[in-house]
């Protein structure tokens, strides 16, 4: 996952914007992204109470029929409602994405805080452990673990969570190192507070904003990875819909009905794009450098 996240680190500040005080405001794109995410999340959460056909109900409508009032996104080759399949697929994608990154935040974040604050041997041990995690190509490790551990939603979440630990730990460690040397931390130490209190009350709140904006982008990476596993047929088993297995199924009917593959593909890409924009927007919002203090 680290490899994919490299791309997100932003280019240098443009020369003509350095030193210019920019108002802290979110862009229109940021709000469009947020609206899309809210929509997808709401649909996924309320999927079972929405007036939708079951995603696995075959012949709910005429196979391969075009979008209509009753079936807003049309039907697939078996007559299953596409909208329903996409909404229930969103459940899998979002559940995997958010849970995996939550695991990464809890374990990676704690490891990064401890490594960055205490330094020395502790840092060496934790950083080496993280380097071992990063020594495997992510998708290959995920494939291998799924192959040996067996194929299930729980295992997909576990392996993607494991994979998101190291990048998040590295990020948290890097910003913790910076804050651990600041005056208010020294002051707290002088006042005799215990390390745990300093870590959670002084350092953590400062590290949180950059970590959370990075975590949002990490969710996008996890969703793409789950999509890849589903596409290969190694995530949740069909007929349960996921965006990845819908793309894979649809791609066998490209010459007859390309919509079947393009529709879930578009939803997946828009969600990933929205998460990237949201993470990016939050990051520059919290970025002290940009706000010309």
Is residue 11 within the footprint of other proteins (CB under 8 A)?
yes
Is residue 28 within the footprint of other proteins (CB under 8 A)?
no
Contact between residue 290 and residue 22 where contact means Cβ atoms under 8 Å apart: yes
Is residue 227 within the footprint of other proteins (CB under 8 A)?
yes
Is residue 125 within the footprint of other proteins (CB under 8 A)?
no
CA 219/CA 227 separation, integer angstroms? 12
Is residue 41 within the footprint of other proteins (CB under 8 A)?
no
Enumerate long-range contacts of 192-198, CB under 8 Å, 24 or more apart: 195/117, 195/118, 198/117
User: 3-class SS at 177?
Assistant: helix
Measured in degrees and rounded to the nearest 5, phi and psi for residue 75 equal -130, 155
Q: Secondary structure of 12-52 in the HEC alphabet?
A: CCCHHHCCCCCCCCCCHHHHHHHHHHHHHHHHHHCHHHCCC
Cβ closer to other proteins: 130 or 199?
A: 130
Is residue 293 within the footprint of other proteins (CB under 8 A)?
no
Is residue 248 within the footprint of other proteins (CB under 8 A)?
yes
Q: Which of 265, 278, 279, 281 lies at the binding interface for other proteins (CB under 8 A)? A: 265
> Contacts with other proteins: how many residues (CB under 8 A)?
53
Is residue 32 within the footprint of other proteins (CB under 8 A)?
no
Residues 136-155 interacting with other proteins (rule: CB under 8 A) = 136-141, 143-150
Contact between residue 89 and residue 241 where contact means Cβ atoms under 8 Å apart: yes
Which stretches of the chain bind other proteins, using CB under 8 A? 2-4, 6-8, 10-12, 14-16, 131-132, 135-141, 143-150, 220, 224, 227-228, 231-234, 244, 247-248, 250-251, 254-255, 258, 261-262, 265, 268-269, 272-273, 276
């Amino acid at each position: 996952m680290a490899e994919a996240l490299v791309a997100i680190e932003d280019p240098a500040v443009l020369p003509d914007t350095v030193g210019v005080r920019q108002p802290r405001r979110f862009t229109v794109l940021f709000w469009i992204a947020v609206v899309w995410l809210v929509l997808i999340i709401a649909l996924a959460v309320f999927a079972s109470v929405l007036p939708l056909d079951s995603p696995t109900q075959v012949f709910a409508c005429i196979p391969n029929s075009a979008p209509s009032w009753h079936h807003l996104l049309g039907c697939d080759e078996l007559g299953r409602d596409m909208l329903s399949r996409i909404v229930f697929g969103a459940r899998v994608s979002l559940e995997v994405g958010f849970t995996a990154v939550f695991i990464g935040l809890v374990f990676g974040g704690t490891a990064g805080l401890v490594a960055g604050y205490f330094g020395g041997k502790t840092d060496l041990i934790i950083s080496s452990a993280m380097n071992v995690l990063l020594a495997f190509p992510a998708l290959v490790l995920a494939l291998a673990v799924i192959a040996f551990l067996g194929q299930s939603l729980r295992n997909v979440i576990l392996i993607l969570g494991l994979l998101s630990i190291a990048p998040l730990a590295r990020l948290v460690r890097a910003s913790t190192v910076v804050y651990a040397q600041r005056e208010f931390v020294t002051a707290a130490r002088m006042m005799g507070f215990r390390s745990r209190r300093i870590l959670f009350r002084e350092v953590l709140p400062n590290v949180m904003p950059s970590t959370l904006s990075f975590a949002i982008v990490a969710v996008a990476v996890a969703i793409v990875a789950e999509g890849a596993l589903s596409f290969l047929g190694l995530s949740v088993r069909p007929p349960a819909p996921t965006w990845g297995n819908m793309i894979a199924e649809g791609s066998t009917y490209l010459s007859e009905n390309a919509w079947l593959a393009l529709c879930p593909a578009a939803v997946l890409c828009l969600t990933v794009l929205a998460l990237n924009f949201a993470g990016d927007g939050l990051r520059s919002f919290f970025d002290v450098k940009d706000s010309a203090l």
